[in-house]
Amino acid sequence: MAALLDLLKTTQVGAALIGLVVLLVLEGLHPFFDLFRERKERGFHLIRNLALGLLNSVVIAVVFAGLWVATAVWADEQGIGLLNVLRDTAGLPGWAHAMGAVLLLDVWTYLWHRMNHRAPFLWRFHRVHHADAQMDVTTASRFHVGEIMLSSALRIPLIVLIGAYAWELVLYETLMFAVVQFHHANLALSPRLDWVLRLVIVTPAMHKVHHSRYQPETDSNYSSLFSWWDRLFRSFRLRTHLEEIELGLDAFDKPEDATLGGLMRMPLRPTKASRSSAETSGDTSM
């Protein structure tokens, strides 16, 4: 099991780096939006976002990764958690245990994301991610360390409730982050390809709507890996003319807001308007 966990962790890092490089190249060849005036501007944007991602990775590795593994091992040994109970009482096979873990972790990610838009305190941290008016693959790494610490701490009781193995958690994180990088990427996919892919996973067309400045669109499409949660929980929304979307947040367009210091201080900034939920439904076609 330890060897499998180490292999998955290595695969996770490798997949993230390969995905970053490949998507950066594709963005340069076939961008959807013309986001940068020059290469230097794109370079600063990349360094700033990846610096936040690196900080978050260090915090997770130093503070939380060991706790997650210890919690998963303890729940396994004690037979605690939904999947472990089903394993011990109903003979749940290993493949079903892994599939169940991925699905349960992903629906939690959906619910947590939605809470980050509904709760004003959580939104203060999450708006660091949404304030990026030049959304590309590096935006997938742009989260405030406060948000990462909160979500990471909540994952400890979640592991116990689900009964997920440590390697299942790494498997989910690998799959999820690959899709997150993909749907943040500044890519121009054909409408047909995007339609086929979003039957299962979140696509750039879905997530561009989520990063719109128009709040009813911002408060939609919360899924991270599988797209069907938005259909199930009635938060799915599309826009016919994606090229008309304006990315970012109106209150955070100043140059100082885009610096590392500005991003770290952003949760402390006052909010002019509350984050009311968007009840208006958009185009719900698949």
pTM: 0.93
Query: Where residue 274 falls among pLDDT bands split at 50, 70, 90?
Result: very low
Mean of pLDDT over the chain: 92
Domain annotation covers residue 277: no
Number of domains in the chain: 1
Domain annotation covers residue 278: no
Domain annotation covers residue 206: yes
Averaged over 146-162, what is the pLDDT? 98
Inter-residue contact 139 to 49 (CB < 8 Å): yes
Averaged over 164-175, what is the pLDDT? 96
Averaged over 146-156, what is the pLDDT? 98
What is d(CA 84, CA 165) in angstroms, rounded to the nearest whole number?
9
Q: Sign of the C-alpha dihedral, residues 159, 84, 15, 63? A: positive
Residues 6 or more apart in contact with residue 182 via CB below 8 angstroms: 19, 23, 137, 201, 203, 204
Domain annotation covers residue 65: yes
**pLDDT at 95 > cutoff 70:** yes
H/E element holding 95? helix 94-118
CB-side neighbour CA atoms (13 Å) of 254 = 7
Strand partners, 247: 212
Domain annotation covers residue 234: yes
Exposure b/e, 102-118, CB count within 10 A at least 16 = b = bebbbbbbbebbbebbe
Look up the domain containing 126 and give its range: 2-268
Query: Where residue 72 falls among pLDDT bands split at 50, 70, 90?
Result: very high
Domain annotation covers residue 106: yes
What percent of the chain is modeled with pLDDT above 90? 85
**pLDDT at 213 > cutoff 70:** yes
**pLDDT at 283 > cutoff 70:** no
**pLDDT at 286 > cutoff 80:** no
What is d(CA 68, CA 125) in angstroms, rounded to the nearest whole number?
23
Domain annotation covers residue 27: yes
